[in-house]
Chains A and B, each alone.
Chain A
Amino acid sequence: MGGGLSPEQRRRVRWTTVLLTLTAVGIYVAFIVSSVLKAQH
């Protein structure tokens, strides 16, 4: 499928994927860290 994409589309696909992945991982880590901090108090 990737063969049909323009370089600009490839760049946008890559960056959107990275951004969304970091968002998901960030939310996961943030919830655990906030619970750890709450538990320490």
Chain B
Amino acid sequence: MSSTQHTHDHAFHHVSAAQHDEHGPATGIMRWLTTTNHKDIGTMYLVFSLIMFLTGGSMALVIRAELFQPGMQLVDPGFFNTMTTVHALIMVFGAVMPATVGLANWMIPLQIGAPDMALPRMNNFSFWLLVAAFALLILSLFMPGGGPASGWTLYPPLVLQTGDALPLAIFAIHLAGASSIMGSINIIVTIMNLRAPGMSLLKMPLFVWTWLITAYLLIAVMPVFAGAVTMLLTDHFFHTTFFAAAGGGDPVLYQHIFWFFGHPEVYIMILPAFGIISEIIPTFARKPLFGYDSMVYATASIAFLSFIVWGHHMFTVGMPLAGEMFFMLSTMLIAVPTGVKVFNWTATLWKGSLSFEPPMLFALAFLFLFTIGGFSGLMMAIAPVDFQYQDTYFIVAHFHYVLVPGAVFAIMGGVYYWLPKWTGHMYDMKLAKVHFWLSTIFVNVLFFPQHFLGLAGMPRRIPDYSTQFTDWNMVSSIGGFGFGLSQLLFVYVIWKCVKGGAPATAKVWDGARTHGLEWTVPSPAPYHTFEEAPVVE
């Protein structure tokens, strides 16, 4: 693209910008508490997400340890249910979403040539609100009666049996939701108003496009979830009966409202991942992205369709045949734009001059493994078949394939792609590749057998099971511990890179040729960038 042709001019310009940045960041703890710099806030989001990833991952290991063999081994059933619930809430709202927000904070201003996010103080506020939210959620584990244990969907009437943890968990969800909405407003306002002159919408990098669409999704559905949990709160404490059949309410109403939020939420996690993959593959295939325009339209189509498919989560609840047909067919329709994306990534690889650095390895694994998750999703879209899969480990296998080798692998690929730009150092490629291979092998050992367990009828969210499921559960648990331990290597690679390493060039990767302007600034990116807007030809 023309935007990358004047790389060196910009690099020199920003060296001088870096030199007059001596006043730069404040020192000590106050830098992090009060910062309004998008790079600092991006870093804080990413570190927070990593801590949550390890916390939620530890809870997953409690689950897998208990399920290693049949019978009750380590924890009581109530605590097991708390673990499944809080693991999910932490991974969705505390790990995956903040990681993509962190990448957005770091990269969107750099990619579009903006000096910072449009609303920097709100940016700081939304981050610290998230920290408060998860402090509350984790504290809820220590309340009398234990933590929330109804599953992340918080279905009534079960969730209303929660003890004192309920208001804490709901308040935490409200705070995390407010944080997400503020973050989304910031992203939309930044992209719509602060793009460098000449960077039209269809010149934006795909990561920026996917985040723009994700931010609209968030603003549309987060308030819906907030409304649903507010009504849970009033049902519990103020004797309303929104979801209580005894008072004329309807518990199924909650499920409709939840999944009207919940399905777009899946795309909120995966669309930025699509954007990251669309940045990485062209760089390491040394070719422009195939079908840029169709990628944008496919992303928008997926976002639109995400609003009209929620009923596929509720086939077994009971609904008119016409409803089942509608949700079945609309869900299958999502395969069309998703197929366009997979086709375009594959076509970008076709006849490319490929090299297999860690970001590319993660992107290729994403391409194969996310597609497995997509296909099992299509299987579940078939209403009569879903009656067999509902609430089994097949579902657990499906969404973990979408979210772990899907969203999480894309995030790891993104971190390995942009880490030299952030730190100014190249990382240990050999260790990063070991991390990739261990993660890829163990993630399949962990989740693939869960397909077999589900098809054989093992229900999800249970601490004990029939002995016929023992073997595959043992394999899955071994995979779980292997995957968990492999992530310590990820932490070490990042730590080592932050501490030092071979200096990174401005361009970092010789094939970097995406639409973004991030490669036009030196590595590490100066504390302040694009104080004068660059011009994109």
Q: A1-B36, A39-B241 are in contact. Are A9 and B257 (CB under 8 A)?
A: no
Q: A27-B223, A31-B224 are in contact. Are A13 and B242 (CB under 8 A)?
A: no
Chain B residues with CB below 8 A from A24, complex form:
181, 185, 219, 222-223
- Please tell me if the beta carbons of A35 and B185 are within 8 angstroms of each other in the complex: no
Contact indicator per residue, chain A 6-35, by CB within 8 Å of chain B (1) or not (0): 000100110011001101111110011001
Q: A1-B117, A4-B531, A20-B185 are in contact. Are A28 and B193 (CB under 8 A)?
A: no
A21 to B228, CA, bound (A): 19
Residue from B188, B226, B227, B248 within 8 A of A35 (CB atoms): B227
Residue from B219, B230, B240 within 8 A of A20 (CB atoms): B219
- What residue in chain B is nearest A2 (Cβ atoms)? B120
Least CB distance from A28 to B in Å reads: 4
- Please tell me if the beta carbons of A16 and B228 are within 8 angstroms of each other in the complex: no
Q: A16-B192, A39-B242 are in contact. Are A23 and B230 (CB under 8 A)?
A: no
A31 to B226, CA, bound (A): 9
Chain B residues with CB below 8 A from A35, complex form:
227, 231, 242, 253, 257
- What residue in chain A is nearest B188 (Cβ atoms)? A20
- Please tell me if the beta carbons of B223 and A13 are within 8 angstroms of each other in the complex: no
- Give the contact-size bracket for chain A: 20 to 34
Interface of A is mostly: helix
Chain A residues with CB below 8 A from B240, complex form:
39
Judge whether B138 is part of the interface by a CB distance below 8 angstroms: no
- Please tell me if the beta carbons of B115 and A4 are within 8 angstroms of each other in the complex: yes
Chain A residues with CB below 8 A from B308, complex form:
none
- Please tell me if the beta carbons of B119 and A31 are within 8 angstroms of each other in the complex: no
- Please tell me if the beta carbons of A13 and B227 are within 8 angstroms of each other in the complex: no
- Please tell me if the beta carbons of B189 and A20 are within 8 angstroms of each other in the complex: yes
A12 to B230, CA, bound (A): 33
- Please tell me if the beta carbons of A16 and B189 are within 8 angstroms of each other in the complex: yes
- What residue in chain B is nearest A20 (Cβ atoms)? B185
Chain A residues with CB below 8 A from B184, complex form:
20
Contact indicator per residue, chain B 237-251, by CB within 8 Å of chain A (1) or not (0): 000111000001100
Judge whether B118 is part of the interface by a CB distance below 8 angstroms: yes
Judge whether B143 is part of the interface by a CB distance below 8 angstroms: no
Judge whether B194 is part of the interface by a CB distance below 8 angstroms: yes
- Please tell me if the beta carbons of A28 and B223 are within 8 angstroms of each other in the complex: yes
Judge whether B518 is part of the interface by a CB distance below 8 angstroms: no
Residue from A5, A17, A32 within 8 A of B185 (CB atoms): A17
A27 to B425, CA, bound (A): 45
Residue from B115, B181, B220, B248 within 8 A of A39 (CB atoms): B248
Chain B residues with CB below 8 A from A26, complex form:
223
- Please tell me if the beta carbons of A17 and B223 are within 8 angstroms of each other in the complex: no
- Please tell me if the beta carbons of B248 and A32 are within 8 angstroms of each other in the complex: no
Chain A residues with CB below 8 A from B265, complex form:
none
Apart from A4-B531, A24-B222, A28-B226, 12 more pairs, CB < 8 Å? A2-B120, A4-B532, A5-B194, A13-B119, A16-B189, A20-B185, A20-B188, A24-B223, A27-B219, A28-B224, A31-B228, A39-B242
Q: What are 20 A-B interface contacts by the 8 Å CB criterion?
A: A1-B115, A1-B118, A1-B120, A12-B193, A13-B118, A13-B189, A13-B194, A17-B119, A17-B185, A21-B185, A24-B185, A27-B223, A28-B224, A28-B226, A31-B228, A31-B257, A32-B227, A32-B231, A35-B231, A35-B242
Q: Nearest 9 pairs between A and B by C-beta?
A: A28-B223, A31-B227, A1-B116, A27-B223, A20-B185, A16-B189, A32-B227, A12-B193, A13-B118
